[in-house]
């Protein structure tokens, strides 16, 4: 009987030792050229070097990452299909009733990659130069001001809704079709407040076209140390998108461990560190167990924000 059990275990042992024996695909839920795509393509050469196989980036845009997420959930759990996901993906089931995805049940956490902070920005003429002054302005004129996001249910939208509830203020949400469409209206003052990526804020802020009030990460950014964190005014506030790698739910632990080591090695490389710094991102390597706890917490947190704010994708 003991010999029989050893023989049963042999194929899995051999598989995990040999993995990978062919190229690995990494799904990205957004089009080429965007922030998530850039991160994937920075990581890919280092992961391929560690794994000894090509890592192919496959863009599956649609439904704010939902198309890629559902493709991953239905993929074979053999380690050859992964996804570079982010916090917005975890909010999808709460925002969109047509999305049947369960990230906790259908994803196997592999490892953390980075945090991509967002920024609260205002038109240069807006009567606030800090988070405290923004709160004061919104409290003085409830409902008078509006804020822009790249769309209903995006993390930018949810971040400001979370801020509204923490600060006890109100502002009208104006959704746009993507981040690039927002900027002209923020600059002109048509929609005076916006939530954009910290990277996208840097150029216009330095040129004096907009003013950055604060970032959504728990701490200030090394690349912009003069920008306060919202948490300095509202302790504990954090709404920066986390980026991480997941696999189909039943992927073997041996394969997950192999991939986690490769991700940690890639994040430690000077080339990746330099590229992340240029994007305002900070590496967040983590064990699969740590990432699972993070996913569970974020799913609950964003579901609560969606419910409290009554956010629904029509």
Please give the average pLDDT of every successive group of 10 residues along the chain, which has 314 residues: 47 62 96 88 96 96 89 97 95 87 95 95 96 97 94 93 96 90 94 93 93 95 92 95 97 98 97 88 95 96 94 78
The pLDDT value recorded for residue 17 is 67
The pLDDT value recorded for residue 6 is 46
3-state SS track over 104-160: HHHEEEEEEEEECCEEEEEECCCCCCCHHHHHHHHHHCCCCCEEEECCCCCHHHHHH
Q: How far is CA 168 from CA 135, 147, 163, 290, in A?
A: 8, 15, 8, 32
pTM of the model: 0.87
Q: From 141, 52, 91, select the one nearest 303 (Cα to Cα).
A: 91
The pLDDT value recorded for residue 10 is 45
Region of residue 285 (phi > 0: left; psi between -120 and 50: alpha; otherwise: beta): beta
CA–CA dist 41, 29 (Å, integer): 13
The pLDDT value recorded for residue 64 is 80
The pLDDT value recorded for residue 13 is 42
**Residue with token string 């275990």:** 9
């Amino acid at each position: 009987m003991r010999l029989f059990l050893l023989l049963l275990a042999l194929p899995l042992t051999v598989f995990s030792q040999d993995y990978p024996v062919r190229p690995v695909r990494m799904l990205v839920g957004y089009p080429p050229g965007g922030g998530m795509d850039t991160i994937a393509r920075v990581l890919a050469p280092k992961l391929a070097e560690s794994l000894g196989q090509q890592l192919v980036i496959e863009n599956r845009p649609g439904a704010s990452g939902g198309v890629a997420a559902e493709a991953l959930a239905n993929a074979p759990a053999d380690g050859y299909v992964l996804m570079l996901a982010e916090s917005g993906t975890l909010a999808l089931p709460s925002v969109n009733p047509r999305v049947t995805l369960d990230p906790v049940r259908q994803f196997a956490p592999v490892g953390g990659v980075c945090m991509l902070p967002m920024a609260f920005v205002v038109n240069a003429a807006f009567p606030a130069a800090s988070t405290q002054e923004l709160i004061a302005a919104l409290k003085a004129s409830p409902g008078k001001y509006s804020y822009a996001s790249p769309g209903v249910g995006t993390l930018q939208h949810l971040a400001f809704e979370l801020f509204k509830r923490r600060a006890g203020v109100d502002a009208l949400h104006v959704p746009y079709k993507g981040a690039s469409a927002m900027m002209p209206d923020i600059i002109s003052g048509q929609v005076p407040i916006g939530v954009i990526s910290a990277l996208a804020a840097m150029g216009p802020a330095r040129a004096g076209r907009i003013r950055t009030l604060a970032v959504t990460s728990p701490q200030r950014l090394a690349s912009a140390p003069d920008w306060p964190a919202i948490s300095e005014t509202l302790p504990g506030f954090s709404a920066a998108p986390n980026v991480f790698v997941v696999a189909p739910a039943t992927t073997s632990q041996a394969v997950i461990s192999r991939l986690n080591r490769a991700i940690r090695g890639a994040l430690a490389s000077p080339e990746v560190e330099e590229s992340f710094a240029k994007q305002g991102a900070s590496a967040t390597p983590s064990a699969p167990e740590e990432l699972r706890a993070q996913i569970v917490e974020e799913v609950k947190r964003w579901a609560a924000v969606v419910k409290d704010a009554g956010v629904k994708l029509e």
